[in-house]
């Protein structure tokens, strides 16, 4: 499994461990990922995604998966998330 958020594209960053003596050694900062099941209101389906906890808070803030996907940029989404976004957009267009 890759360590990349499927909704925001957040991935590992690099930096330094700095000791008290100012010795620097390289390290990785990994995103806080969790496996979450999110439900779509328009599709009446649930999707298992591996997203960062910051993305989960953003999904809740925007009012659910459908509202998040409406504002999400295509460049940040994974291939699976892009397919979900297109399905939601198609279902919303059919309802309107």
Q: What are phi and psi of 86, to 5 degrees?
A: -65, -40
Confidence at 2, pLDDT banded by 50, 70, 90: confident
The architecture of the domain spanning 13-95 is Roll (2.30)
pLDDT confidence of residue 80: 95
Cβ atoms 65, 38 nearer than 8 A: yes
b/e burial code for range 66-78 (CB count within 10 A of at least 16 → b): bebbeebeeeebb
DSSP bridge partners of 37: 48
At 21-72, the pLDDT tens digits run: 999 999 999 999 999 999 999 999 999 999 999 999 999 999 999 999 999 9
- The pLDDT score that the predictor gives to residue 96 is 79
pTM of the model: 0.88
Report the DSSP pairing between strands 33-40 and 45-52: antiparallel
Sorted by where each begins, the domain ranges of the chain are 13-95
Cα–Cα dist 16/18, whole Å: 6
């Amino acid at each position: 499994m890759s360590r990349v958020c499927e909704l925001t594209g957040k991935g590992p960053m690099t930096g330094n461990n700095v000791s008290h003596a100012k010795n620097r050694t390289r390290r990785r900062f990994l995103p806080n990922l969790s496996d979450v099941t999110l439900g779509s209101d328009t599709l009446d389906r649930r999707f298992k995604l591996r997203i960062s906890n910051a993305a989960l808070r953003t999904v809740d803030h925007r009012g659910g998966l459908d509202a998040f996907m409406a504002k999400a940029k295509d460049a940040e989404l994974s291939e699976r998330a892009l397919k979900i976004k297109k399905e939601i957009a198609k279902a919303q267009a059919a309802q309107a």
